[in-house]
Structure 1
Amino acid sequence: MTNEELAIPDFDHVPLGALRERIVALDRSDLQALLDHERAHGDRLPVVEVLRHRLEALDAGAEPHGSVPDHLPEVHAGLPGGGVTPATSGPPINPPSHGDPTNPAMPR
């Protein structure tokens, strides 16, 4: 199953912190598909654990609730393509010189 066919759009790019709230609307078959996809591709232990715990909750009687949004604002909030440009990068950083003239233990 490709990333586009999964119940959560851009699943591979969903931050772990947002994953729990995204999966509560999914039923067991959608969660199992996500788990199978994760194990076959990234196999990220924290993601596998979140999915596995939600499957256990459903097996224990929890019900899916809410809905999965069409897009993920935390994924699509950046630039198209997600790149950094000179306009969006931070200021240049100059490495410190050796020693600190204000510290007598480390003269220049």
Structure 2
Amino acid sequence: MNAERADLPVPDYDHLPVATLAHRVRSLDADALAVLVGYEEEHGAREPVLTVLRARADQLAAGAEPSGGDPAAVQPEHAPPADGAAAPNTDAPPVNPPSHGDPTNPAQPRR
């Protein structure tokens, strides 16, 4: 197979985590899955990804049917919040001063 990135049946395929990819490929038929296997073999040859793709191809060959769903749907990790609210604050906690030289720090041993 000589597929180009833009022709792949799963958008942004090569940036998906393996677990997400495993769910996305369940909706593909054997031909679309073969396109992904060929692309992966030619470009990344990432063994965990090939394992997932080949396992699904084996399932389809054994009689499994593609599941419903859209492999191009918004990824849950990139979807907007369901209620339209802003995402929760994900700022890092404030940096605490080092324990040495801070007499109010209970972690500092007393002499």
Look up the SS of the partner of 1:66 in the other structure.
Answer: coil
Partners of 1:30 and 1:64 lie apart in 2 by 11
Q: CA-to-partner distance for each residue in 1:34-74, whole Å, 9 max, x for gaps? A: 00000111110000000001111111111111122434425
Structure 2 counterpart of 1:37, from 14, 36, 39? 39
With the length of structure 2 as denominator, give the TM-score of the two structures.
Answer: 0.65
Give the partner amino acid of 1:2: E
TM-score for the superposition, normalised by structure 1: 0.67
Change beyond 3 A, Cα 1:20–1:71: same
List aligned pairs for 1:2-21, cutoff 5 A: 2-21=4-23
Unmatched 5+ stretches in structure 2: 80-89, 99-111
Q: Report the number of matched residues.
A: 98
Aligned to 1:101: none
Rg (Cα) greater in structure: 2
Root-mean-square deviation over aligned CA pairs: 3.0
Of all paired residues, the percent bearing the same amino acid is 39
